[in-house]
Amino acid sequence: MTTSSGAMADAAAILFRNWQQRTRIDALPDDCRPADRAAGYAAQAEVIRASGQKVAGWKIAATSAAGQKHIGVDGPLAGPLLADRVLGNAAAVPLAGNIMKVAEAEFCFHFGTTLPKRTAPYTQDEVLNAIDALHLAIEVPDSRYNDFVRAGAPQLIADVACADWFVLGRRAGTDWRSRDLVTHAVTAYKNGQPAGTGSGANVLGDPRVAVTWLVNELRTFADGVQAGQIVTTGTCVIPVAIASGDTFRADFGDFGSVEAQIS
């Protein structure tokens, strides 16, 4: 395992090629496998560069204890949402080549103010004051590893934290700042039938805590969060198994709902 910049560019080339071709690897080669989180984020930055895409925002993987245990990591992971992978409400989401085959219901924050890289951690108040909207969202993740549950945090970070497709729904229909997002109920529906329930408590205990974590992860390992970007905070319900032809809808009560057609 390594941390050199050339090796991380090699790792990124392998991962991005497999992403484009919808193929898989068992692991990155020893000579370009990231050794730690910092190297993982260096490789991730090279994946972004290879894609030629703008970063529309960021995702957090493994925000629940169960999710962390499932993929064998000791904390959350941050990954980019590439602009050409962000779709609108009720969009058709391609599932071809996807090995995870799940959909997730998420709170997603839109930033009106840039929070750049800096030494001192951002406070939760600083982060919340930089946010200008709450959106409802669906993530359909994937991995470029055959056995993603054993890849480990550095390799998963390099693999853009299992990012793939993302559906950005409408803004929350009521004043979210005055509401308790921890207890806010979320229900997932597959083909019109209830498929799971949860709340913001499943997202590091509170979506506000999760978005603050993400900002501080990026001010440490990347360039922070830019004005105009979104941050999606992880699934509020246990990920729902999906197949081609399914309709998935996440109902956030009086905040509204967001839908995806799985194609």
Residue 50 neighbours by CB distance under 10 Å: 16
User: Model's pTM, two decimal places?
Assistant: 0.95
> Binning pLDDT at 50, 70 and 90, where does residue 72 land?
confident
Tell me the domain boundaries of the chain. Answer: 53-262
Question: What's the mean pLDDT in 126-132?
Answer: 98
CATH 3.40.50.10300 fits 53-262, yes or no: no
Q: Which two tokens stand for residue 11?
A: 């790792």
Q: CA torsion, points 62, 240, 94, 234, in degrees to nearest 10?
A: -30
What digits encode the pLDDT tens for the residues 12-34?
999 999 999 999 999 999 999 99
CA distance 170 to 257: 8
